[in-house]
Structures are given as structure tokens and as C-alpha cells.
Amino acid sequence: MSPRMIIRRLGGSLLVLWLVSILTFLLVQLIPGDPAEVIAGENATVAEVARIRTELGLDKPVLEQYFNWFTGVLHGDLGHSLSTNRSVVSTIAEAAPATLVITTMALLVAVVIGVSAGVAAGLTQGSWVDRAVSTLATLGIAMPSFWLAMVLVSLFALTNPWLPATGYVDIREGFGVWLSHVVLPATALGLATAAELARHTRGCVADVLTRPYVRTARARGASGAWLVRKHILRNSAIPVVTVLGLQAGRLFGGVIVVEAVFGISGLGSLAINSVLQRNYPMIQGYVLLSAVIVVLINLIVDLAYGWINPKVRTA
């Protein structure tokens, strides 16, 4: 992919983020109820509410409010939590690692299991491997992640106390301890995506196998591992990467439920509490972070396309 195209993609991403910032800001304007009243509490006087409103700048024109808020965002200042009065950025920074780690590990689980199962099934269409993968994949897609999480906890943490049932520890406290806390939530979150990926990969491999260029490769004497590695995987990867990008976004949403089951205080619980408390600076922070992550994932997917598919490079 040419540098010019990368710059164009980056520009597009920044534009999307700016639009998201406007929507995020307006979202709060559209929420029913006055944040100033919420902060002041039920027994506050009118004067008190007015004072808080002035303090937060809510009495200024909307455009000016947005300008002030956006300037803050650009300087890394998202305001203060209405409930704890701590800075939004540091609160999110505290909760983010657990969530990001679990989501990333879930994605890893999904890719490793999903892609390998899908390739195996696609290459052996109609065999027992194929049927097993298809059945398990349907099951995996049908199972809600919270239920899967509970089953995993009961199997691997309660019945057989091999792994901790709840909580998250930082990797600095030891790789083994860290991994033991990550395995179950990541698996619970990632298996549905693995199932989705397996089905998709199977379809893509099956499709690529019917392509004339695979026949050509066979006509040149290619077969087995060579054929799979050189011709089938790369061509199958193009549509699979698209699904992977979509699924990555979904995982980031799904992690909320898994965090709840495993009692991990990550971004998920932060987001839920913020919504319940109408803690709008926190909500804004969370939405902005989500948008940045999704845009980043899309950017990575776009770049990966260019790497996998030479047609995109010149497009």
C-alpha cells in the first residue's frame, strides 16, 4: 500500500472521529433530565442548581460549549466524573487495561480456534471433521457468552479449582497469575467469535478451492501443504479479515457482560454505572474511547487488506 493511500485512510479515520465527537457531545444534550439537577441532588435550591450549571458551563450557547469541550478533548481533558470528581481520563485509564487485555486475548482465541477449525473443515468438506466443526460452530454461535462464562467458571474454577473464578490481576504481578485470570473470560468471550469465524473461513476455503487458479496450481504440480499455504490461505483470508474487523467491534461490546460474570471492574462496569448515574462526562469518555478503538480496528483491517490483496494496493 502506497504512503499516499495510508495518509488518505488516516485522514478518513480522523474525520470519522471528529464526527463521533460531535455526536457524543450532542448525545448528552439530548438526554432527558438536567445534569446540574442530578449533581445538586434532590434537596438543592434553585440557586444551587444555577451555580452548578454556571460552573459546568451549561448556561452557555451549545456551540461554545462544544468548542470548550472539544478543546479539552484535544488536550486529553475529558472533564471530571460527576460521582467521584476524579478526572475521566485517569478513571478510564485505570479500568481500560483489564478490558483491553481480555478483548485482545478473546480475539486471539477466536482467530486461532476459528481459523484453524474453519480451514480444516473447508479442506475436508463432507468429512467428519467438517461436520463436527459445523455442528460446534452452530452451537457456539447459539450460546450466549454469559452462559458460557458461567459454565466455564463452574467447570474450571469451582468443580475443578484450576483457575480463579473472578477478578483480574496486572501482568506485572506475574505472567502465570495474569494468564490464569485471563484464560476463562477470554475464552468465554472469544468462543462465539471463533464459531462465527470458523463458519466463515470454511465457506471461504470451500469457495477458493473451486477457483480456476487453484486448478492451475494443481496443474503445475502443487498439492497438500504447498497448495494450502501458497494459494488457498491467502485468498481465503480476504473475506475473513472483513468479518474479523466486524467481530472485533462486537467483542468490545460483549466484554461488558463477561466482566460482570467474572467480577472484573473494567470499562464495562464503568460504562453501566455511568449510564445509571447519568454521569455524562464518563459516558462521553467511554463512547469516545470505543469510537477510537473501532476506528483503529477498521484502519488495521484496511491496511491488512492492502497487504493480503494486491488489487487494493493499486486501487
Interface mask (CB under 8 A) for another protein, residues 254-273, using x and -? Answer: --------------------
Least Å distance, CB 136 to another protein, is 24
Interface mask (CB under 8 A) for another protein, residues 161-200, using x and -? Answer: ----------------------------------------
DSSP structure class, residue 221: T
The dihedrals phi and psi of 84, each to the nearest 5 degrees, come to: -110, -15
d(C-alpha 107, C-alpha 114), whole Å: 10
Of residues 235 and 298, the one with the C-beta less far from another protein: 235
Of residues 218 and 250, the one with the C-beta less far from another protein: 218
* Residue 86 binds to another protein (criterion: CB under 8 A): no
Q: What sign does the dihedral 247-251-257-258 (CA atoms) show?
A: positive
Q: Which of 72, 74, 91 is nearest to 82 (CA)?
A: 91
**Cα 126 → chain centroid:** 34
The amino acid at 206: A
Least Å distance, CB 217 to another protein, is 7
**Cα 130 → chain centroid:** 29
Interface mask (CB under 8 A) for another protein, residues 274-313, using x and -? Answer: ----------------------------------xxxx--
Q: Look at phi and psi of residue 130 and say left if phi exceeds 0, alpha if psi is from -120 to 50, else beta.
A: alpha
Interface mask (CB under 8 A) for another protein, residues 193-232, using x and -? Answer: -----------------xxxx-xxxxxxxxx--x---xx-
Residue in 91, 193, 235, 284 binding another protein, rule: CB under 8 A: 235
Cell numbers 432527558 correspond to 32
What contacts 203, CB < 8 A, 6 or more positions away? Answer: 122
Contact residues toward another protein (CB under 8 A) are 210-213, 215-223, 226, 230-231, 234-235, 238, 308-311, 314
